[in-house]
Structure 1
């Protein structure tokens, strides 16, 4: 909450990861944050990696749909969102972006989201355009899908190996 309320973007970290086994209350935390922030008149974007996970969020959609990042996702994948659209305005106005089941995202998907946010925000204020990003998930459950990948390739594709 302090990061969301910090308008100078300097006093608090801007990216967080909520780790916990299934059933420990991650979704409860998301919904609580959404309700509190929306009660304060702030906008929250809620995305998830799968359709099942997004049904637990209030207004959730898949990150593929929300950010227009479509498979196959590679190191050159970029968002299809164009400047001046409703989606860009939504990203600019968002106080918090929540991404459930983020452990299923690949490094490349997270890089594409970072590139999108930096492009939309145009402020050069660090990763993700200075937006407060809450990723959550459980690395003990589902990991990213790597076509014909072995264990090492799947582990390398996880967001835990992301540099941003």
Structure 2
């Protein structure tokens, strides 16, 4: 271990809340005793799961333990130190069924890494199909049986596995099925894994603190049933109607000093539901950035003659094509400045 690793571990542990610390201690004891077990840490967004993972990973890696940190989605995996997606790390096939196995050969480098791992952390677990967990379970048993023959009878081959996520968010995506089938695809319906899970629940929301995300509903005048809420003032940007200035200033504070800083940009975003508003905001910010602007224009035309002999080019002139803004098609003009993302 290095001094920096120890410092980071101590710093993260000092920031743990009481319920996080209890879970951390339980998981560490299971790792130290090499008790092959499966844990599930349940909690909504902002509850502190990612912070718990970081503290756990930092503590074990500072003691020279191998921790494999994975997540069901690419974005979630980026939040874990050394994180990878589950499909990438464990070679899970995309076409899954109840008999699937991972594409990991016994004796391979990846198999040896799994053998030596003290802990597996799998974040955003509820979004993955239960067949994915069963495939990993089946593969781990097969890998671990070479060292411990009894591993074939243990969940995940006797490895300590910690799953995390929120069943109130997105469940596995299953095409063209009903709600019951979607629920049946979740890990909570896996008879080989879920009965062996010890479930912990985090309840203190670290983002909202005293606000639990629930606001009292109110009824407008003339309405019998309360169907509206008042958004708290601290969650609102005080701005004029359709004003972009205040929104940009609030989100991108010190933009002109920080617009070339990738970390600064990664920590901020403005979300909108319409493409035209995206363009308005981008154009507004681009004008704020110093420097000369380069404009590149799209070349639009259609096939002049179709099989029916109709002159489509006359029906769809370039001026009309230039007005089209469709998903997957670049805008008419691309505006660029040096140093601007």
2:184 aligned partner: 156
2:134 aligned partner: 111
Summarize the alignment of residues 71-90 of structure 1 with structure 2, pairs less than 5 Å apart: 71-90=94-113
1:145 aligned partner: 173
- Give 1:157 deviation, angstroms: 0.5
CA distance in 2, matches of 1:93, 1:147: 37
CA distance in 2, matches of 1:33, 1:22: 19
SS at structure 1 position matched to 2:101: coil
2:122 aligned partner: 99
SS at structure 1 position matched to 2:68: strand
- Give 1:107 deviation, angstroms: 1.4
Whether 1:33 aligns to 2:56 is yes
SS at structure 2 position matched to 1:46: strand
TM-score by length of 1: 0.94
* TM-superposition CA deviations, 1:72-110 (whole Å, max 9, x none): 211122111112211101100100000000001111111
* TM-superposition CA deviations, 1:111-143 (whole Å, max 9, x none): 101001101100323111110000000001111
* TM-superposition CA deviations, 1:58-81 (whole Å, max 9, x none): 111111111111212111221111
CA distance in 2, matches of 1:105, 1:44: 20
CA distance in 2, matches of 1:157, 1:38: 34
2:93 aligned partner: 70
Cα RMSD between the aligned structures? 1.0
Runs of 4+ residues deviating >2 angstroms: none
Match of 1:53 among 76, 86, 104: 76
CA distance in 2, matches of 1:16, 1:44: 15
Larger Rg: 2
- Give 1:148 deviation, angstroms: 1.1
SS at structure 2 position matched to 1:37: helix
| Worse-matched range after superposition: 66-75 or 15-24 | 66-75
SS at structure 1 position matched to 2:118: strand
Match of 1:2 among 15, 29, 32: 29
Q: Please identify which structure carries the higher strand content.
A: 1
CA distance in 1, matches of 2:120, 2:191: 19
CA distance in 2, matches of 1:62, 1:149: 26
- Give 1:37 deviation, angstroms: 0.2
1:18 aligned partner: 41
Summarize the alignment of residues 124-143 of structure 1 with structure 2, pairs less than 5 Å apart: 124-125=150-151, 126-143=154-171
SS at structure 2 position matched to 1:116: helix
TM-score by length of 2: 0.46
